Structure 1
Amino acid sequence: MAGMSGRTARKVAVLMGGPSAEREVSLSSGRECAAALREAGYEVVALDAGPDLFTRLNDIHPDVVFNALHGRWGEDGCVQGVLEWMGLPYTHSGVLASSLAMDKTRAKMAFAAAGLPVVQSVIADRATVEAGHVLPPPYVVKPNNEGSSVGVYIVQAGANAPPRLSEAMPDVVMVETYAPGRELTVAVMGDRALCVTDIVTQGWYDYDAKYTVGGSRHVIPAVIPAEIAAACMEYALRAHQALGCRGLSRTDFRWDEERGLDGLILLETNTQPGMTPTSLAPEQAAQCGVSFPELCDWLVKDASCNR
């Protein structure tokens, strides 16, 4: 079952919610996608993904599953494996690309092998991180397998003491050299990089900045030199391809203006970007003339299994 070309999807199950730290964001994405797909003419069943997912999908018999899950289990290859087993075409990336992208260390290894610019990072247990500086400050401490800037600590230059991590942080974390500069992002739709957005915030682009009203401002297209915009577009497409992504992805960058092209660093690729009409990837699609219902419709038609 390679894809939906040659057949028409009538019934779409939209997976949303789930048990991850990004449940609320996923519920928002799922509701918006379900509404857009109904507008596009599909019969839609919205499904809060839980332990009975297999049984409920068996009862629904959808033609396609629209994956609007975020975070662990929903974008790390787990639910993708269930859908592969069931033989159900689904949107966004497959098992391998999803698991690679969610594991920040292995994703960076793939990026580096593809010649993409990344910063130094190490994996360490929380006791080691709290005992002393694992890398010279400034550096960032974050979970190795969460998205949406969940649980990010920034240790500033000159900091005397290492961070004290919350109990919610996993026992093993990534410690990464801090990349200064502007926050840029590029969405990739199939084999096309869309455009560059400059994300303007007061401080770090953390969970609250992403999802709180007024937490950030999007400048689209970004007002940056043509050379930097072209590099962002090229790197995002190469990252998408290096991980083996399909459908829609979004790659985030930091750019230090003082260093020019050498100051452009690839942070990570998100295989399940936020899917509300004002989220970054749909916003870029709209900038390129693709409405939100059209984007959701395209994702359904691009859905596949075993690809």
Structure 2
Amino acid sequence: MTLDLKIASIDPKAMGKVAVLMGGNSAEREVSATMSGPGVLAALQARGVDVLAFDPAQRSLHELQALGVQRAFIALHGRGGEDGTVQGALELLRIPYTGSGVMASAIAMDKITTKRLWQSVGLPTPRWVSLAKHQQQREQLMAVPDELGLPVFVKPPHEGSSMGATKVNGYSDMQEAVALAARFDSEVLCEEFIDGQEFTCAVLGQGEAAVALPVVEICAEQGNYDYQNKYFTNSTVYKVGQADPQWQAQVQQLVLQAYRVLGCRGWGRADLMLSRKDGRVYLLEMNTSPGMTSHSLVPKAAAAVGVSYEELCLWLLSQARLDSQS
């Protein structure tokens, strides 16, 4: 199977002056500044795009206008890059940008709101409990495993890349896990742990024209796909498009539904679990500014359908727009 994105019809010069936004102030700054951002920058340069690197943590976004920037490729991850804030600033500056708009970015970055929306239309997601700051006393924490069972997954709802996340196996570990998550977020998400196989599935496009890329199975060492294994080791095995075709097609349709419900555009990547207990697929979260590192999953899935890293970057740039242009 190949995917024709009509790359040949994209004129790099027509993209105008482009800024690749990288770095930022989030907990995922290192990945953006040293891997995703430089990767996208080099790819666009190789395709003949007039492109520059721009770190919003070190320069005001207003400088983009003075530099004559006409499009922005958002290679930021986490808060300030993936949560609608930089998208809103670019809307005010009237600079088209890659990926989802303000509202979809903000919703997808909030795992609790995302789960509520998915549940409202009957999409499967693990059972969960949210703990506001005033609900994080010991007695309230001990009630969570009673409701969700053990193990339970505890994480900050506005972070990515497994930042601040803990798999809790016993009641005695709850307090420490919640305290860790609370360092990143005032609210804490406690989620039913789905024992099974982890998958991810990327989407390109918008609305009914959106297409799902091949499903990727993630086989991490000891089943621990944490921050270190995501970006800094080579021990994780990725099986791209190797699942049963009929099952894969069902997962792709589920992910397309999840993507459209949130109002995403441009691109995104859903993380999923296949439960050993009941054989169901559960949606975990939607990433609206996925990683673009050598270990990243969207480039791997795109390569499986004949789209190179450089082609993917150029196509994503060509899809840059403002909310008013959607």
TM-score for both structures, normalised by structure 1: 0.91
Greater shift, 46-55 or 248-257, is seen at 46-55
Separation in 1 of the partners of 2:216 and 2:167?
23
Greater shift, 246-255 or 53-62, is seen at 53-62
Q: SS at the partner of 1:66?
A: strand
The question of 1:25 aligning with 2:31 is answered yes
Change (3 A) 1:169 1:85: closer
- 1:47 equivalent among 54, 60, 66: 54
Q: Which residue of structure 2 aligns with residue 162 of structure 1? A: 174
1:171-195 CA deviation, whole Å, 9 max, x = no partner? 3211111111000000001100011
For residues 250-269 of structure 1, what are the structure 2 equivalents within 5 Å? 250-260=269-279, 263-269=280-286
- Unaligned runs of 5+ residues in structure 1 are none
Q: Which residue of structure 1 aligns with residue 151 of structure 2? A: 138
Whether the aligned pair in 1 keeps the contact of 2:158 and 2:185 (CA below 8 Å) is no
Separation in 2 of the partners of 1:91 and 1:189?
11
Whether the aligned pair in 2 keeps the contact of 1:88 and 1:305 (CA below 8 Å) is yes
Deviation of residue 279 (structure 1)?
1.0
Separation in 2 of the partners of 1:108 and 1:67?
25
Q: SS at the partner of 1:100?
A: helix
Letter in 2 for 1:276: T
For residues 106-255 of structure 1, what are the structure 2 equivalents within 5 Å? 106-125=113-132, 128-129=135-136, 131=138, 132-136=141-145, 137-156=150-169, 159-164=171-176, 165-166=179-180, 168-190=183-205, 191-201=210-220, 202-222=222-242, 224-255=243-274
Identical columns (%) = 41
Separation in 2 of the partners of 1:289 and 1:129?
49
- Unaligned runs of 5+ residues in structure 2 are 1-9
Deviation of residue 292 (structure 1)?
0.8
- 1:280 equivalent among 297, 312, 319: 297
Whether the aligned pair in 2 keeps the contact of 1:141 and 1:174 (CA below 8 Å) is yes
Q: SS at the partner of 2:72?
A: strand
Deviation of residue 53 (structure 1)?
2.5
1:238-277 CA deviation, whole Å, 9 max, x = no partner? 11111111111000101024522xx211100100000124
Separation in 2 of the partners of 1:38 and 1:266?
36
**Higher helix proportion:** 2
